Structure 1
């Protein structure tokens, strides 16, 4: 996504008449690698801004470096509150995000489950080692209870280690939960859904957040059908048609990880807009421009930033339904 945005920006003459240069680093899901990469970008590459990563834990780890080097960093799918505000409640002045936050996403999942699905009992199965999963779980539970729902089971696992979830699923099955909320990322969600159906949990509805990935179909198969996923974007959005067409033309493949792709794509466009508004290639001026973003039209949304938190304000969520082997647009949702 970022590469496509840089190419598109270059075709339009660049930013302030200069081409954008990208220094890509692959840090996987390892915060220590991200910290090392940030140091190299700041000290060797002399970057003026950083886009990524797509996980909260990584950006929480790099936030002190962004502040120390005074280089703005935009997380793409980094939804945890601690990305932009530290655990003392103080703003991380150089940290931003394109996505909505865990509390907001948790509220969206709760509102959808209670008000759209009209289900009053829910279970949660989450990765105890993930900042993302823990934050989403916490805020889903809070808002779901506010909407009159009841949490009847709360189970954990550890991603990268656990592959057999039948013990947790048996507890959830016995709780008579109507909905199983999966506030996670990765293959474990697909394994959980597959194993749940194998245990005869045919009526329970799976609801997740923005951790959905098309690769999950290869693992879960038909168990994915009629699950729901609260997300930032929808593949059917007409505004994203050029993105998907360019992606297929460039890479000769479909963009399966479309959330990561689109939010990285629009993060580059948002950054370019901020540099234009700053009027110079200066990290502090770019930070100030990002902070003062008001009604900037990106491809997937209109972006306005709360200067006090550096969070997007009032973004509409998208609900995807897994149907016929792919994610399809179901509805839009915005909590009251």
Structure 2
């Protein structure tokens, strides 16, 4: 089975399966910068449109098949089934070979077995979404994480945090002037980052639903990154470039990471007026290098650009 880095997800755009332009996105004729795409058969599709959406998905996959498969440089492609029963139906489609995996909606410990039985195709990765009331219970999240590790560990790319649904559990909607971190998500996101992150799962960030507030999106993204989240759901194409740009790594972080993973790095050293301790910071450094691989490095500010530095100099 191939591997997919969670850092490859970047900005993830959901598109209703009823849309007629999905093939153009898959082939980069539209939204060429998009890194990952989810064709949604769940919340974005009304009940009366489900069969039409399924037919449209089948036509999409047939068109991809007729063109010899997806382009190598195109976005990752996922499908979000409505429930485990629909996933069972899709699992047996031969054309699912053109899909990277399923986004699992509203995963809980109680429906996990149903999803395990539904998605038996070993080539399909999974991205479960945490968006139900039991997400507020740390004990339930410990149990869910353990169950996922036991049965599906190698197939899970990342866990997705469904911020709007989680707010909806409390009858809340964010203030349009503040980030999610000024809501009860300020408890949920750090808790999930700790509990699920400590078990080895990558997590992606919820949408920012304010389309006319790019500065708010950037502020929220910085907080997402500070909590170790590896990508973010885009609610509209106008958010894609902002997400991709913010996910780029600073030159300072890149240089620090390279020094930390160096084979001759001492146990503790100083770099740019900060203590570096490879035994503690090694995993952080690997994540920085992986993020830089997929998203690149932010251009250095001309006034504050670093001078080239040899490893020995940095460790003095």
Q: TM-score range by the shorter chain?
A: 0.3 to 0.5
Instruction: Report 1 or 2 for greater relative contact order, CA contacts < 8 Å, sequence distance ≥ 6.
Output: 1
What TM-score does the superposition give when structure 2 sets the normalisation length? 0.32
What TM-score does the superposition give when structure 1 sets the normalisation length? 0.31
